[in-house]
Amino acid sequence: MTSTNIMIEALSDQMNGHARKVIIGLNWTLVEGPIGIGLAHTPVRGTSGCFGLSNAGKLSGKPLSDFVGGLTSENPFDRALALAAINAHHNSFGLSGNNANGLDLAAERQNETVVIGRFPGLENRLPQAKVIEREPGPLDFPITSAPALLAKAETLLITASTVTDGSLLNYLALAPDALTVLIGPGTPLSPALFEIGIDILAGFVIDDKKRVITTVAQGGAVKALKSCGRNVCLLRS
């Protein structure tokens, strides 16, 4: 069994219930389950491998566990749905934890920090961080810089989108000694991820079901989600 399959098996353990609502919005993909609502970043249309969904119109009512296999699909929309379904189980409505922003937790360390993915407000919270991006801007590093930068990293922040694009385990392997933070609304708040090398899970829990469904359906981005729930961080003991 591959490392990816082991991770998928751990995340899907004891998942139950069915999808009550499924939305693929402009920015976020949403799956509502019986105990929570999960989010994942919607793939950019035109991305290699993006196709329509053959089972569109039949997703609501599907067992949450049936979505999980989509994490290994060639279609990025299947992978986003899989992560959202996983989060509908793990990021449950009543989940509690540290309510800090993951970026702030990293900023407290004030050491050599590398970030996979540029987050909103990053330049204010972590101005000295080195940022690796698939499509780098003027202040970013390309993915080819990852091995050299991660070898020196003391703190590594990784966007939750790496779960769906299959790169998470590769980044972890490049920085075995760094404190690692998986961050973003699409982060599964599952302690099972501590077993693969994550130290802090910095995710999001929905509190206002009606508001988040409307927000996602109408193309809301990260800023618009803030009024729909709260940051939750789980720390490895």
Identify the pLDDT of residue 2.
Answer: 65
CB 115 within 8 A of CB 157: yes
Order of all β-strands in the sheet with 130-132: 130-132, 113-116, 155-159, 179-183, 200-206, 229-235
> What would the 3-class secondary structure string for 155-192 be?
EEEEECHHHHHCCHHHHHHHCCCCEEEEECCCCCCCHH
Q: Report the pLDDT averaged over residues 83-90.
A: 97
Identify the pLDDT of residue 217.
Answer: 97
Enumerate the domain spans of the chain.
3-96+207-225, 102-202
Q: Which residue has the tokens 């998942």?
A: 15
Identify the pLDDT of residue 19.
Answer: 97
**Two structure tokens written together for 77:** 């929309």
How many Å is the Cα radius of gyration of the chain?
17
CB 169 within 8 A of CB 3: yes
Residue 231: phi and psi, rounded to 5, are: -70, 140
55-84 pLDDT per residue, tens: 888 899 999 999 999 999 989 999 999 999
User: What's the rounded Cα separation, in Å, for the pair 184 and 173?
Assistant: 20
User: What's the whole-number average pLDDT of the chain?
Assistant: 92
Identify the pLDDT of residue 48.
Answer: 62
Q: Which residue has the tokens 């404190």?
A: 179
- Does the predicted model carry a pTM greater than 0.75? yes
Share of the chain above pLDDT 90, in %: 75
Residue 69: phi and psi, rounded to 5, are: -60, -20
Q: Identify the band that residue 53 occupies on the pLDDT scale cut at 50, 70 and 90.
A: confident
Residue 211: phi and psi, rounded to 5, are: -65, -45
Close Cβ partners of 33 (under 8 Å, ≥ 6 residues apart): 17, 18, 19, 20, 64, 85, 88, 89
Helix 3-12 to helix 76-90 angle (10° resolution) is: 40
CB 31 within 8 A of CB 37: yes
174-203 pLDDT per residue, tens: 999 999 999 999 999 999 999 999 999 999
Element spanning 5, H or E: helix 3-12
Residue 212: phi and psi, rounded to 5, are: -70, -35
CATH topology of domain 102-202: Rossmann fold (3.40.50)
Identify the pLDDT of residue 157.
Answer: 97
Identify the pLDDT of residue 6.
Answer: 76
Instruction: Determine whether 192 is exposed, middle or buried from the number of CB atoms within 10 Å of its CB (0-12, 13-18, 19+).
Output: middle
Q: Is domain 3-96+207-225 classified as CATH 3.20.20.70?
A: no
